[in-house]
Amino acid sequence: MILGAHESVAGGLHLAFDRCRRDGADALQLWVRSSRQWAARPLSEEDVARFRAAHRAYRRPLIPLAAHASYLINLAAPDDAIRERSTEALADECVRAEALGVGLVIVHPGAAMGSPPEVALARVGQALRRVCDAVRGTKVRLCLEITAGQGSSVGCSFEQLAEMLQRSGERRLGVCLDTQHMLAAGLDWTTEEGYERVFDGFDRTIGLPHLRAFHLNDSKRPLGARVDRHARIGDGAIGLGPFRRLLLDPRFAALPGFLETPPFDDGEESYAQGLARLRSLLS
C-alpha cells in the first residue's frame, strides 16, 4: 500500500506538499474547496500552476492524489434543494480535481434523514449519474466512502454501496474503505478469519477492482458502535497489529492509504507518528 495522509491546505493548495514532506507521506489527500461552506472561490490559473509544479517537484514518480469532498454534501437528502446543491458541489469538486491533476474524489454518500433506505439509495444513484454526466470526458474517478452507520447515514454496508453503484449505472465509480468506519459498522477486519470474511464479502458484493483507496484510522469506539470517531494509529480499539495484514496484502500494493487521524493534544498533527508506526510493521 502507498502510505499518505490528509494534509492541510492552509495558505495555499500547493503548501500541502510541504506538509507531506514534513510527515513523510507518499500519497496526499486534501480539500480542493471548503469542507464546511457551500461557497467556494474559483481556482485561479496561479493556484493550478503552483499546485501542479509542487506535485512534480515533490517526488518522481508522481505520488497519488485524492480530494475529500465537502462534508456538507448529502446526495441522499429528501430535500430537493439540498440534494441539488450537493450534486452541483460534487460536480465542482470533480472539475477542480481534474484541473489540479487529482485522480480521485472521495465522498460520503449522505444521510436518509427519515426517508426509507431504499429511497435514499435511489437518490444517491441518481445524483451520481448526474455528476458523472456533468464531468464526462475527465479522468477523475469518483469514489463512495463506506460510512460508520452513524445516525441515518447510508453506505455503511457493502450491499448499500453496491446498490448505489448499480443504480448510478456508471462503471467508472469506485469505493474507498475506511478502517475505522468498517469496524464501527460491524465489519470486523481485525482478525485473520474476519479479514478474509470481510474482503471476500467485498469482492463478491462489489468487486475488488472497484476498490480504489483506503482511509487508515484507528477507532475510539469498539466494533459495531456505529459512531465515526477516529483515533491515532495504534491508540484505539483496532490497535497496531491488524494493520500489518492490510498493508502486506498484495492485492492492495498499488492503492493509496490516507491517514485521517486526530492531532495530538497540543494541536500538532499525528501523521508522522502514524506513518512511522505503520512502516514499522513492514520491516
Catalytic residues: 36, 68, 71, 108, 145, 178, 181, 215, 228, 230, 260
Helix (H) and strand (E) counts in the chain: 9, 10
- Given a contact cutoff of 8 angstroms between Cβ atoms, the answer to whether 27 and 257 are in contact is yes
User: 3-state secondary structure string, 94-145?
Assistant: HHHHHHHCCCEEEECCCECCCCCHHHHHHHHHHHHHHHHHHCCCCCCEEEEE
Q: Name the one residue in this structure whose C-alpha cell is 505503520.
A: 278
Report d(CA 179, CA 190) in Å as an integer.
9
DSSP annotation of 153: B
C-alpha cell at 240: 497496531
CA-to-CA dists, residue 236 to 52, 232, 245, 273, 274, angstroms: 36, 7, 17, 14, 12
